[in-house]
Structure 1
Amino acid sequence: MTTRYRLIGFIFLMAGNAAGLMAGSAAGTAQAQAGSAIYLNDAGNGRVVRMADMRGTGWAALPGQAGERTFAFQSGVAVDGAGRIYFTDATAARLVRVDDITGRGLVAYGRRGSGPHQFDLPAGIALDGQGRLYIADASNARIVRVDDLTGSGWTAYGKHGRGMHEFGFPQDVAVDRAGRIYITDALNDRIVRIDDMSGAGWTALGRRGSGVGTFDHPTGIAVDDRGRLYITDSANDRVVRVDDMTGAGWTALGRTGAGRHEFVFPTGIALDGAGRIYVTDENHRVVRMADLTGAGWSSYGTMGAARGHFSFPSAVVVVGTPP
Structure 2
Amino acid sequence: MKVYVSDRRRCEVIALPGDLADVDERFGARGSGIGEFERPRGLASDDVNQLLVADAGNHRIVSFDPVDFVGSWQEYGTFGSGVDEFDTPTAVHVDEKGVIWIADTGNRRVVRVDSLSGSGWAALGPLPGPTSADPDAIGFLAPTSLAHDAAGRIYVTDGRAGRVVRIDEIGGWGWSAIGPFVGGVPLAAPVGVCAIGDTVLVVDVRRSALVEILDAGTGVETFVEHGAAGVLVMPSAMASESSNVVYVTDPRASVIVQFVTEGAGGWSPNTTLSSIVAEGEPRRFDEPVGIAIAHFA
TM-score by shorter chain over 0.5: yes
CA displacement 1:2-47 (0-9 Å, x = unmatched): xxxxxxxxxxxxxxxxxxxxxxxxxxxxxxxxxxxxxxxxxxxxxx
Task: Give the one of 94, 108, 115 matched to 1:196.
Answer: 115
Q: Which residue does 1:175 correspond to in 2?
A: 94
Task: Give the one of 141, 147, 151 matched to 1:222.
Answer: 147
* Identical columns (%): 34
Structure-to-structure mapping, 1:20-59, within 5 angstroms: none
Taking the aligned partners of 2:67 and 2:97, their CA distance within structure 1 comes to 23
1:196 Cα deviation from its structure 2 partner: 0.4
Taking the aligned partners of 2:227 and 2:172, their CA distance within structure 1 comes to 33
Q: Which residue does 2:195 correspond to in 1?
A: 271
1:319 Cα deviation from its structure 2 partner: 2.4
Taking the aligned partners of 1:114 and 1:261, their CA distance within structure 2 comes to 43
TM-score, normalised by the number of residues in structure 1: 0.68
1:261 Cα deviation from its structure 2 partner: 4.4
Relative distance call for 1:261 and 1:143 in structure 2 (3 A) is farther
Matched position secondary structure for 2:169: coil
Q: Structure 1: which 5+ residue stretches go unaligned? A: 1-81
Task: Give the one of 295, 300, 318 matched to 2:226.
Answer: 300
**Count of aligned pairs between the two proteins:** 235
Taking the aligned partners of 2:31 and 2:142, their CA distance within structure 1 comes to 25
Q: Which residue does 1:283 correspond to in 2?
A: 207
Decide which structure has greater strand share.
2
Matched position secondary structure for 1:267: strand
1:295 Cα deviation from its structure 2 partner: 4.0
Higher RCO (C-alpha under 8 Å, 6+ residues apart): 1
Task: Give the one of 200, 206, 209 matched to 2:129.
Answer: 209
Note if contact 1:212-1:250 (Cα within 8 Å) is conserved in structure 2: no
Note if contact 1:126-1:135 (Cα within 8 Å) is conserved in structure 2: yes
| Cα root mean square deviation, aligned | 1.9
Q: Structure 2: which 5+ residue stretches go unaligned? A: 131-135, 245-262, 264-297
Note if contact 2:14-2:23 (Cα within 8 Å) is conserved in structure 1: no
Answer with 230-239 or 93-102: which moved more.
93-102
Note if contact 1:135-1:145 (Cα within 8 Å) is conserved in structure 2: yes
Taking the aligned partners of 2:155 and 2:117, their CA distance within structure 1 comes to 24
Taking the aligned partners of 2:42 and 2:239, their CA distance within structure 1 comes to 11
